[in-house]
C-alpha cells in the first residue's frame, strides 16, 4: 500500500513539472454500488455518496492527467441488510478532450478500506485494498463540472471473488 501511494505521488510530481495547465477543485456526488461475482446473486445496489478533491494537469490542449482523492461509501444490499464498505479512493485518470469542454476519462483507481460492517458475513473476510478501473465522461461550464463514471473492480474485495461495481454521478467546482 505504501509503495502504491509513493508511486502515485512521484508520478504526479513528475507530470506536474511538465503540465501546461493546472486545476484544483472539489467534487461530490452519489454512488450506486454493488458487488459482482459468482454466487452473489440477489445483491442489490446500495446508494451512497462520495466527496473529495480533484486536480487536473494539462499536458496539451487535448490531454491531461486527473488525480483525485475521495471518500466513497460503497458496498451492497441483500434484502434488509446493508453491507457497507467505506474507502479512500485514489483514481489516476487520463483525460482526453473530445471537444472544448467535454472529456473522456480512463484509468486505474486505488482503494483503501477505512471502515466496514462485514462482521455480519461470517463466511468471508474483506481485503484492505481494491484495484479498480474507471471510465467516464465530464462536461464543464466555466469553473463548474459534472461527471458520470463507472468503476469496475479488477481485484477481489473478499475471499470469495467479489468485485466492486460502482456508478458515480458528480458535480464539482475548480478553484484554480
- Taking the alpha carbons of 21, 22, 25, 31 in that order, is the dihedral positive or negative? positive
Q: Which residue segments constitute the domains of the chain, with CATH numbers given? A: 2-174 (2.40.160.20)
Instruction: Name the band, by pLDDT with cuts 50, 70 and 90, for residue 96.
Output: very high
Summarize pLDDT for 127-139 with one digit per residue, the tens. Answer: 899 999 999 999 9
**Cα 137 → chain centroid:** 13
pLDDT at 119: 63
- CA torsion through residues 5, 10, 13, 19, sign: negative
pLDDT in tens, 11-64: 555 555 555 667 899 999 999 999 888 777 778 899 999 999 999 988 888 999
User: Cell match 445483491: residue?
Assistant: 43
Give the list of residues 6+ apart from residue 122 with CB closer than 8 angstroms, or none: none
Q: What is the pLDDT of residue 85?
A: 92
Query: CA–CA separation, 73 vs 49, rounded Å?
Result: 6
Sign of CA dihedral 21, 173, 135, 76: positive
pLDDT at residue number 4: 59
* Confidence check: pLDDT of 98 > 60: yes
Give the closest residue to 160 by CA, choosing from 42, 38, 46.
38
Using the CB atoms, write b or e for 16-35: b if 16+ within 10 Å. Answer: eeebeeebebebebebebbb
Residue 38: per-residue pLDDT: 79
pLDDT at 124: 59
pLDDT of residue 17: 55
Separation of alpha carbons 29 and 147, rounded Å: 9
- Per-residue pLDDT tens over the stretch 109-164: 999 999 888 665 555 578 899 999 999 999 999 999 999 999 999 999 887 788 99
Residues 101-114 have a mean pLDDT of: 96
**pLDDT score of 152:** 97
pLDDT score at 12: 53
Contact 50, 31 (CB under 8 A): yes
CB atoms within 10 A of CB 10: 10
Q: Which tens digit of pLDDT belongs to each residue from 67-82? A: 999 999 998 888 877 8
Distance CA(150)–CA(127), nearest Å, equals: 21
pLDDT value at position 3? 59
Amino acid at each position: 500500500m505504501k509503495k502504491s501511494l509513493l508511486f502515485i505521488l512521484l508520478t504526479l510530481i513528475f507530470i506536474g513539472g511538465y503540465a501546461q495547465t493546472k486545476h484544483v477543485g472539489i467534487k461530490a456526488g452519489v454512488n450506486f454500488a454493488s458487488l459482482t461475482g459468482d454466487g452473489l446473486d440477489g445483491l442489490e445496489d446500495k446508494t451512497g455518496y462520495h466527496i473529495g478533491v480533484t486536480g487536473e494537469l494539462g499536458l496539451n490542449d487535448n490531454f491531461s492527467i486527473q488525480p483525485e482523492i475521495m471518500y466513497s461509501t460503497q458496498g451492497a444490499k441483500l434484502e434488509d441488510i446493508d453491507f457497507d464498505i467505506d474507502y479512500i479512493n485514489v483514481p489516476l485518470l487520463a483525460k482526453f478532450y473530445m471537444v472544448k469542454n467535454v472529456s473522456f476519462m480512463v484509468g486505474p483507481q486505488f482503494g483503501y478500506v477505512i471502515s466496514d460492517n462485514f462482521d455480519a458475513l461470517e463466511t468471508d473476510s474483506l481485503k484492505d485494498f481494491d484495484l479498480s478501473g474507471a471510465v467516464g465522461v465530464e462536461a464543464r461550464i466555466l469553473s463548474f463540472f459534472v461527471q458520470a463514471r463507472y468503476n469496475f473492480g479488477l481485484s477481489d474485495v473478499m475471499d470469495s471473488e467479489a468485485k466492486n461495481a460502482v456508478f458515480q454521478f458528480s458535480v464539482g467546482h475548480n478553484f484554480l
